[in-house]
Amino acid sequence: MGQAIVNFTVRGIRSGVLSADQVLSDYNTNMIRATEAGGQRLDHEFASTWQATLGRGIVDAIQNYTEQAGVIQERLGTALVYVTQAQTGSEEVRAAQQELLASLVVAAIRTEALGGSRDPASSHRVFS
């Protein structure tokens, strides 16, 4: 609103409607009314949309988190099956498989620490 008042004042001075010795005028009154009306309109627009906008942002964040957690769980499950089925092979292969499994376990733990499901019944998804 301050910027709008400055802009009105600049226009008034440039057009000759305002001068330095005029303190009160119809121009000032109209300027203040127009600025207040604009501020009220912006307040109303914000008040009518902020909850929906915030809600949409929260839902998007939760969906993104859930998707990422699902990807990690799928990779963990795949790695677990891969490691348990590959009992034969060289030590290097088994070490690489175990390293992959360990990194996925750490990722799953971090996911839980960042707000993942705390429901023990939902932990079966790791193996499905």
Q: How many angstroms separate the CA atoms of 74 and 128, rounded?
A: 8
- Distances from the Cα of 112 to the Cα of 77, 79, 107, 115, angstroms: 16, 18, 9, 5
- Average pLDDT over the chain reads 75
Q: Which of 74, 68, 76, 70 is nearest to 106 (CA)?
A: 76
Q: How many angstroms separate the CA atoms of 100 and 93, rounded?
A: 11
Sign of CA dihedral 87, 92, 93, 98: positive
Instruction: Give the pLDDT band (50/70/90) at residue 123.
Output: very low
Please say if the pLDDT value at position 72 is more than 70.
Answer: yes
Global pTM reads 0.42
Q: Residue 76: what pLDDT?
A: 76
Q: How many angstroms separate the CA atoms of 78 and 76, rounded?
A: 5
Q: Residue 101: what pLDDT?
A: 74
